[in-house]
Amino acid sequence: MTLQSRLWAISLVVLGSAAALTAHATATPMPLPQKLDATVLSQRRILQPGINRVTFQSEGETLVGNLYLPASYKPGDKLATVIVTGAWMTIKEQMSAVYAQKLADQGYAALAFDFRSWGESGGDLRSFESPTVKIADIKNAVSFLQTVEAVDANRIAGLGLCAALAIWP
């Protein structure tokens, strides 16, 4: 089975449970994400439970994300990981953060990131919606996660919320 096939298979399983996450997320008001340490994973390399600020490259631009790890995470753990992408015109601190935190609460690692030209990520043409660019960014997020110590490289899934589902490769 190819990596892309595994991603799709795992994505379908994760998407199947999205309704439960949505119901809980809408029933319980969520606090805003905590203030993040400005240290970037690429410089630090020590992951901790909770939100870890990360950066990675996509087509020559630096993308900024938050890698959510469960409270039970310990160095050496290899976690199934979900890349959470939000609707068009959103940033990582919005809907993706809610789902990523819920996934971490369930024992998964979860990555929410700003696409190129959005939020804290690089890109000259700001707030530009391009499914082609976003697909490349998702693929580069997978490549990045395969290098992260806490991630099981064979168990990476995707969760596209709202219109983000249409751009998943």
**CATH no. for residue 155?**
3.40.50.1820
What is the model's pLDDT at position 33?
38
CA distances from 30 to 25, 47, 52, 129 (A): 7, 24, 19, 27
What is the model's pLDDT at position 83?
98
pTM for the full predicted model: 0.74
85 falls within a domain: yes
Comparing CA positions, the residue from 46, 87, 42 lying closest to residue 65 is 42
Report the number of distinct structural domains present in the chain. Answer: 1
Q: What is the domain extent for residue 18? A: 3-31+48-167
Burial class (CB in 10 A: 0-12, 13-18, 19+), 165: middle
Average pLDDT per 10 consecutive residues for the chain, totaling 169 residues = 43 37 30 38 72 98 98 97 93 96 98 96 92 95 98 97 70
Q: What is the rounded distance in angstroms from the CA atom of residue 76 to the CA atom of residue 1?
A: 26
Query: At 122, which amino acid appears?
Result: G
116 falls within a domain: yes
